[in-house]
């Protein structure tokens, strides 16, 4: 069965503080697939994810979801950040955090109703966290924290789920549970995009992979993409000229912009 592209990335260059971390990426992600973004540290995986989520503006090119800017389709996506990105001393219970996933912008009176609580409870059950619903989040283990984040994202009932290294620092039991949930989602026809760095497990759990090392090395079904040539190109090949040019771009005082924008 041929599926439609859900993510369309075209000629995407982006980075922080004027330093491009990803360079002219071009790929598509199919609907209903479990896709992994793979690459060594510093290969621009997180930058790519931030672009897809619309958290940083690209220097050139675009990343579209369902053929539109991400701002138009935010109600259809959800995001599981790395668990280190927040302060777990925050005064909130597990239930509070999962309920956060239910907020939608736009209405004036934005309090949550009974329906939202039921949805949150449902996802807590699914992630096996319902017995901890009233616990303060700081008292959770690493795996439990990741499961709370997953429940918060799923409470948004997304068609497309983004995850940033969900298995890092997670115990085996939690990892299995999370993986099980992700597979269920795929069976329900949802799509998943996950930043991942463990190649061994990647081959087993993913449908598609995007191999990244500043530039795109390969993208496509895991069986085709995972070959010796691509992997060695991803994990260490000589990119000295590219990195020198990135240095030049970073240091150049000119404004680094899409030339087409300049011409308009």
Partner 1 sequence: MDLSNAVWVFIGCSLSGLLTALTGIPMYLRRQSLAGDALAHALLPGVCLGIWLSGYRDHWLVYLAGTGTGLLSIALINAIQKRSKIPEDGATGISLVLFFGLGLALLSSMQRAGFGNSGVQHLIMGKAAAMLPSEVYVLGGLFILALILAWLLFRPLWLFCFDPEFAQSSGMPMRQTEWFLNLWVALVVTASIRSIGMVLTAALLITPAAIGHFLSFKPKYMIGISMLSAGFSGALAAWWSAYQPGISTGAAMVVLLSLFAFFVLLAWPNLGYLSRYWISQLEKKRWIQENILKELWKARGLSDQELAFRCGISDAKSLRIKRSMVQQGLIDKEKGSWTLSRLGQEKASSVVRRHRLWESYLHERLNLPADHLHDNAEIVEHLLTDELESRLEAILSKPEQDPHQSQIPYKKS
Partner 2 sequence: MISAAVLITSLLIAINASIGGTFLVLRRMGMLTDAIAHAILPGLVIGYLLAESRSSPLITLFAAATGLLVTLLIYWLNKYLNVWVEASTGMVYTSFFALGILGVTLFGENADLDTDCILYGELLWIPFRRPLSGTFLDFAPWAVWQQLVLLGLWAILLLPSWPIWKSISFDIDFARTQGLNVERKNLQLLALVSLSTVWSFEAVGAILVMGFMLLPAATAWLWVKRLEHMLALSIALAALSAIGGYALAWWINLDPSTTMVLVSGTFFLLSLLWQRKSTLRVG
Residue numbers of the site for partner 2 (CB under 8 A)? Answer: 53-55, 71, 74-75, 77-79, 81, 85-93, 96-97, 99-105, 108-112, 135-136, 138-139, 152, 156
The residue with tokens 């789920």 is: 161
Task: Answer yes or no whether residue 57 interacts with partner 1 by CB under 8 A.
Answer: no
Task: Answer yes or no whether residue 219 interacts with partner 1 by CB under 8 A.
Answer: no
Looking at the Cβ atoms of 23 and 34, the one nearer to partner 1 is 23
Task: Answer yes or no whether residue 253 interacts with partner 1 by CB under 8 A.
Answer: yes
Question: Do 123 and 98 form a contact (C-beta atoms < 8 A)?
Answer: yes
Looking at the Cβ atoms of 200 and 248, the one nearer to partner 1 is 248
Looking at the Cβ atoms of 113 and 254, the one nearer to partner 1 is 254
Task: Answer yes or no whether residue 122 interacts with partner 1 by CB under 8 A.
Answer: no
| Cα Rg of the chain (Å, integer) | 19
Answer with the entry of partner 2, partner 1, none that 263 interacts with (C-beta below 5 to 8 A by kind).
partner 1
Task: Answer yes or no whether residue 86 interacts with partner 1 by CB under 8 A.
Answer: no
Q: Considering all CA atoms of the chain, what is the largest pairwise distance in Å, rounded to the nearest integer?
A: 59
Looking at the Cβ atoms of 25 and 181, the one nearer to partner 1 is 25
In three-state form (DSSP H/G/I as H, E/B as E, the rest C), the secondary structure along the chain is CCCCEEEEEEEEEEEECCEEEEEEEEEEEECCCEEEEECCCCCCHHHHHHHHCCCCCCCEEEEEECCECHHHHHHHEEEECCHHHCCCCCCCEHHHHHHHCCCCCCCCCCCCCHHHHHHHHHHHHHCCCHHHCCCEHHHCCHHHHHHHHHHHHHCCCCCEEEEECCCCCCCHHHHHHHHHHHHHHHHCCCEEEEEECCHHHHHHHCCEEEEEECEEEEEEEHHHHCCHHHHHHHCCCCCHHHHHHHHHHHHCCCCCCCHHHHHC
Answer with the entry of partner 1, partner 2, none that 136 interacts with (C-beta below 5 to 8 A by kind).
partner 2
Using alpha carbons, select from 164, 197, 191, 200 the residue that is nearest to residue 28: 191
Answer with the entry of partner 2, partner 1, none that 105 interacts with (C-beta below 5 to 8 A by kind).
partner 2
Answer with the entry of partner 1, partner 2, none that 262 interacts with (C-beta below 5 to 8 A by kind).
partner 1
Task: Answer yes or no whether residue 106 interacts with partner 1 by CB under 8 A.
Answer: no
Looking at the Cβ atoms of 25 and 153, the one nearer to partner 1 is 25
Looking at the Cβ atoms of 48 and 202, the one nearer to partner 2 is 48
Least distance between partner 2 and beta carbon 19 (Å): 13
Task: Answer yes or no whether residue 245 interacts with partner 1 by CB under 8 A.
Answer: yes
Instruction: Give me the residues that bind partner 1 (CB under 8 A), please.
Output: 11, 13, 23-24, 26, 60-61, 87, 89, 138, 215-217, 241-242, 244-245, 248-249, 252-256, 258-260, 262-264
């Amino acid at each position: 069965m041929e599926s439609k592209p859900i993510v369309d990335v075209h000629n995407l260059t982006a980075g922080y503080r004027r330093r491009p971390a990803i360079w002219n990426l071009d790929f598509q992600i199919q609907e209903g697939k479990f896709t992994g973004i793979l690459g060594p540290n510093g290969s621009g995986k997180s930058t790519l994810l931030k672009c897809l989520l619309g958290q940083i503006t690209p220097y050139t090119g675009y990343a579209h979801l369902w053929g539109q800017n991400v701002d138009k389709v935010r109600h259809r996506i959800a995001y599981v950040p790395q668990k280190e990105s927040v302060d777990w001393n925050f005064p909130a219970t597990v239930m509070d955090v999962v309920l956060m996933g239910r907020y939608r912008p736009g209405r004036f009176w934005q309090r949550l109703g009974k329906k939202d609580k039921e949805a949150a409870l449902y996802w807590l059950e699914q992630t096996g966290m319902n017995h901890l619903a009233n616990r303060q989040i700081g008292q959770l283990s690493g795996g439990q924290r990741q499961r709370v984040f997953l429940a918060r994202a799923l409470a948004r009932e997304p068609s497309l789920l983004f995850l940033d290294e969900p298995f890092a620092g997670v115990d085996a039991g939690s990892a299995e549970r999370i993986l099980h949930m992700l597979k269920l989602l795929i069976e329900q026809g949802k799509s998943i995009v996950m930043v991942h760095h463990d190649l061994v497990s990647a081959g087993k759990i993913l449908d598609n992979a995007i191999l990244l090392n500043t530039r795109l090395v390969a993208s496509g079904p895991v069986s085709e993409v995972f070959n010796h040539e691509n992997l060695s190109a991803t994990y260490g090949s000589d990119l000295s000229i590219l990195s020198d040019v990135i240095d030049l771009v970073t240091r150049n005082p000119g404004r680094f912009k899409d030339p087409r924008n300049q011409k308009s």
